[in-house]
Amino acid sequence: MMGTSDAVSLTLNVNGQRREVTTDPTRSLLDVLREDLQLTGTKYGCGEAQCGACSVLIEGKRVFSCRTAVSKAEGKTIVTIEGTAKPDKLHPVQQAFLDEGAYQCGFCTPGMIVAAVALLEQNPKPSDAEIVEAMNRNLCRCCTYPNILEAVRRACGREAEVKS
């Protein structure tokens, strides 16, 4: 980053692209994504790894980017909400959130979707208890939790089973 004497060059692999940044390596991954790479889909909600709005995938696992130094992400595969969909098709989790209207203000939605994508990567057919456990670190102040739960069920093909 300009204006600091201790800036270093880092190469990040974000959403399948190599991105070079010159920055203070102690800055958070969240800040670098938002300010340097203009990837503003990932949100600041608390800065204390308590709300999940800043969730991104590193090597397929959900991390809280507000508490991850950008240097720790170097050389690893980073996926943000912007890289979740294919060019012409939403990710099934995104499609399920859209179909269920699983948002109100939507500010938590990118983090919720990233957390759900990570969950379904590891456990393609989670039970309700497993969904709640995995998603419980993501906050939604509009409290759209029932619709989000429904969206995650839908994304893993469980909506018919639950509704019947």
Partner 1 sequence: MTPPHLDPNGTYDERFDVVEYHFTGEVPDPTRREFLQILGAGLLIAVSTGQALSQEPRGGRLGGGGGGRGATTIGARLHLGQDGTITVMTGKVECGQGARAELSQAAAEELRVPIATIRMVMADTSLVPDDGGTFGSRSTPSTVPAIRKGCAAARELLKNTAATRWEVDPSSLVVRDGVACHEASNRTLSYAELASDERASRAIASPSPDAELTTVASWKTLGTSAPRPNGRDIVTGVHAYPSDVTRPGLLHGKVLRRPSYNAKLLEVDLEPARAIEGVGVVRDGDFVGVTAPSRSLAEKALARIAENALWEKVDHPSSEDLGDYLRSHARGGVPVNPLAEDVRSAAKSLRQTYQVAYVQHAPMEPRAAVAEWQDGKLTVWTATQNPFAVRGEVARAFGLAEDHARVIIPDFGGGFGGKHSGECAVEAARLARASGKPVRLVWTRAEEFAWAQFRPAAVIDVEASLDVEGKLSSWYFVNINSGANEIQTPYRASKARAQFVASEPPLRHGSYRALATTANTFGRECFMDELAEAAGCDPLEFRLLHLEAGRLRDVLVKATRQFDWSSRSKRKEPGRGVGLACGIDKGSFVAACVEVAVDPQSSKITVEHVCQAYECGKILNPANLLNQVKGAIIMGLGPALREEMVFKGGKMLNASFARYRVPRFADVPRLDIHLIDRPDLPSAGAGETPLIAVAPAIANAVHAATGRRARTMPIRVPDA
Among 10, 12, 21, 34, binds partner 1 (CB under 8 A): 34
Q: How far is the CB of 50 from partner 1 (least distance, A)?
A: 4
Give, in order, the Cα–Cα distances in Å from 147 to each of 36, 96, 106, 136, 143.
Answer: 34, 10, 12, 14, 9
Within positions 55 to 74, which residues make up the interface with partner 1, using CB under 8 A? none
Among 61, 72, 125, 141, binds partner 1 (CB under 8 A): 141
Positive or negative: CA dihedral 98, 101, 104, 108: negative
3-state secondary structure of 55: strand
Percentages (nearest 5) of helix, strand, coil residues in the chain = 40, 20, 45
Residues in the site for partner 1, rule: CB under 8 A? 1-5, 23-24, 26-28, 31, 34-36, 38-48, 50-51, 53, 80-82, 84-85, 90, 94-95, 97-98, 101, 103-110, 113, 131-133, 135-136, 138-149
